[in-house]
Structure 1
Amino acid sequence: MFEIDALRLLVTVAGTGSFTGAATRLNYTQSAVSRRIASLEQQAGGPLFERLPRGVRLNPAGHALHRHAVDVLERLARAEQELAVIHAGQGGPLRVGAFATANISLVPTALRAFKQARPEVEVIATEGRSGTLTQRLADGALDLAVVSDYPSGLPSADGVTTAFLLEDELLVALRREHPLAGAGTIDLWELRDEAWLQDAPAGGPTLLLDACARAGFRPKKLIRIAEWTGKFGYAAAGLGVALVPSLAAWAVPAELVLCRLGDLAPRRTVHIALPAAPLPAARGLRDLLRDTVADGWSRVHEDRPDRT
């Protein structure tokens, strides 16, 4: 295996045409250059230079190694430049993960501001459950993730830190013709006879069941629908009602109305997860997510025209 310094010396000697010239350029002694070239030739299996009365020149073997040395050194120079840009937070990839409803409005709003501020950074977005995203952060496959404590508490992993971002209130989605659709805020008890749409597997803890228990009843019927589009379709058809995170308010179709559930409204918390040594670009996106919540996204979200 050839050392980088030895390859750099080979290129310098070839460029100057002498050991003396290379020594001057690299601030070596001539004897040090001679020893290192001799060591390199030993590694290469034979001479690399023709020794001339004045100076040296590459022989065929030297030309072959010189070609590869130039390529290696150019690649390393490009790598150094790319790493400098990444460490400055002004380029390279940024791998971002979020759970589904965070990707409806919150994360895209922050990413739009991020791309305006750092257009040279390539954002690679992915979606998944919070536990999976946290593990991918720990494995080095993500640079930042937006995660929540639903349904089983805030996930954790070695080397991953989390910071609170917001509290996400769950609303109830009713079709517009529902008798309670115009109430604005309703008592969860008033929905005790409804069929409920949810995606959690049977037998597991859910915010819905916990909230219903606090309200003094257990849902008479649960319809398990995995995707939000399916839940909205069933609710719009009058086949059930569904809890909808406020994060998802902008995705609710016009056939549905969102109502608050008062003091018994279930809530979850949303957090920003980062590795122990986050990239500057990841720290920048973290700050923009906080700004989005504090300054812009919450007002836009609360002003949704058909939210009651």
Structure 2
Amino acid sequence: MWDIDGLRLLVAVAGAGSFTRAAETLNYTQSAVSRRIAALERQAGGPLFERLPRGVRLSPAGRALHRTAVEVLDRLARAGHELAVLHAGQGGLLHAGAFGTANIALMPTALRAFHEARPDVEVVPLEGPSGTLMERLADGTLDVAVVSDYPYGLPAADGVTTTPVCEDELLVALPRRHRLAGAATIELGELRDEAWVQNAYDDRATVLADACARAGFSPRRIIRIAEWAGKFGYVTAGLGVALVPTLAARAVPAELVLCRLNDPALRRTIHLALPVAPLPAALALGDVLRAVARDVG
């Protein structure tokens, strides 16, 4: 493997045309420069410089290695600059994840403000369930994520920390022709005969199941639809009702209304998730997310 310091010395001697002048420029002794170049020549398998009465010049082998050395050193310098701006939070890539409804208003609003403050940081967004986002943070694929404790509780992952950003009330979506569509607040028990549209695909306890138990009933039927567009379609058709977080309110179609429920526990908490040693840009985006969270509900 080539010695990077040796390559730097090769370029310096070639530019100076003399071991002595290169030594003065680099604050080395002339004998130290001669020894390092001799070691580099042994590694290269032959002379890299032609020794002249006044100075030195690159040999054919030296010119070939010099071209590579200049390219390698230039790439290292550019990498060093990129790392410096990355660690200063003023540039580079930032991989940011968010769950579905956070991408309706919260994350886009935050990213717009973040871009205005730090235009040289390129954010690469990723959408996924909160559990998947936590896994991506743990394996280094993501630098920052917005996650939720709905519907199963806050997921955990080794090497990932979470802090609350805001609370998000859960409303019920009804078709406008529903008998309760005009109510300011609905008793959850009044919906005991409804089918519920949600994307819970296993038997773990959910926020909905717990709320219905508190109201003295179990959901009559669960219609399992993963995407929000599909959920809204089923509710619009009168096939069921659905819990909708406030963050998703902007995406609700005009054919539906959102009503409050009388259970104060029907809410979720939005968290900022970061690796143990976060990038400065990730911390800065977290600050922006906290600032805009109160305005997008």
Smaller-chain TM-score range? over 0.9
Tell me which residue corresponds to 2:212: 212
Q: Deviations over 1:82-124 (max 9, x none)?
A: 1111112111101000111111111111111001111111110
Are 2:45 and 1:34 equivalent residues in the alignment?
no
Distance in 2, Cα, partners of 1:95 & 1:14: 42
Uncovered stretches (5+) of structure 2, i.e. residues with no partner: none
Q: What is the TM-score when the length of structure 2 is the normalising length? A: 0.97
Tell me which residue corresponds to 2:84: 84
Q: Which runs of 4+ in 1 moved over 2 A?
A: 150-153
Contact 1:192 1:220 in 2 (8 A): yes
Report which stretch shifted further, 193-202 or 174-183: 193-202
Instruction: Give 1:158 deviation, angstroms.
Output: 2.0
Q: In structure 2, the residue corresponding to 1:5 is in which secondary structure? A: helix
Distance in 2, Cα, partners of 1:202 & 1:69: 59
Report which stretch shifted further, 34-43 or 259-268: 259-268
Q: Which amino acid aligns with 2:165?
A: L
Are 2:246 and 1:246 equivalent residues in the alignment?
yes
Contact 1:209 1:219 in 2 (8 A): yes
1:3-152 mapped onto 2 (5 Å cutoff): 3-152=3-152
Distance in 2, Cα, partners of 1:138 & 1:225: 28
> How many residue pairs are counted as aligned between the two chains?
297
Contact 2:212 2:219 in 1 (8 A): yes
Counting aligned pairs with the same residue, the percent is 72
Instruction: Give 1:202 deviation, angstroms.
Output: 4.3
1:154-233 mapped onto 2 (5 Å cutoff): 154-233=154-233
Q: Deviations over 1:245-294 (max 9, x none)?
A: 11111111000000000235522211000111111111110000110124
Q: In structure 1, the residue corresponding to 2:185 is in which secondary structure? A: coil
Q: In structure 1, the residue corresponding to 2:96 is in which secondary structure? A: strand
Instruction: Give 1:204 deviation, angstroms.
Output: 2.8
Q: Deviations over 1:162-187 (max 9, x none)?
A: 11111121110001111110102110
Q: In structure 1, the residue corresponding to 2:173 is in which secondary structure? A: strand
Uncovered stretches (5+) of structure 1, i.e. residues with no partner: 302-308
Are 2:247 and 1:276 equivalent residues in the alignment?
no
Q: Which amino acid aligns with 1:187?
A: E
- The 1:135–1:168 alpha-carbon spacing in structure 2 relative to 1, beyond 3 Å, is same
Distance in 1, Cα, partners of 2:276 & 2:212: 39
Q: In structure 1, the residue corresponding to 2:213 is in which secondary structure? A: helix
Q: Deviations over 1:141-200 (max 9, x none)?
A: 111001112233212222211111111211100011111101021100111111111111
Report which stretch shifted further, 254-263 or 193-202: 193-202
Q: Which amino acid aligns with 1:261?
A: L
Q: Which amino acid aligns with 2:21?
A: G
Q: In structure 2, the residue corresponding to 1:212 is in which secondary structure? A: helix
Contact 1:211 1:264 in 2 (8 A): no
Question: Aligned-residue CA RMSD in angstroms?
Answer: 1.1
Report which stretch shifted further, 197-206 or 211-220: 197-206
Contact 1:144 1:282 in 2 (8 A): yes
Q: Which amino acid aligns with 2:271?
A: H
Instruction: Give 1:207 deviation, angstroms.
Output: 1.3
Q: Which amino acid aligns with 2:289?
A: L
Q: In structure 2, the residue corresponding to 1:263 is in which secondary structure? A: coil
Distance in 2, Cα, partners of 1:117 & 1:67: 40
Report which stretch shifted further, 63-72 or 75-84: 75-84
Q: In structure 2, the residue corresponding to 1:15 is in which secondary structure? A: helix
Contact 1:215 1:264 in 2 (8 A): no
Distance in 2, Cα, partners of 1:110 & 1:188: 34
Q: Which amino acid aligns with 2:278?
A: P
Distance in 2, Cα, partners of 1:202 & 1:154: 16
Q: Which amino acid aligns with 1:75?
A: R
Contact 2:19 2:55 in 1 (8 A): yes
Distance in 2, Cα, partners of 1:223 & 1:159: 36
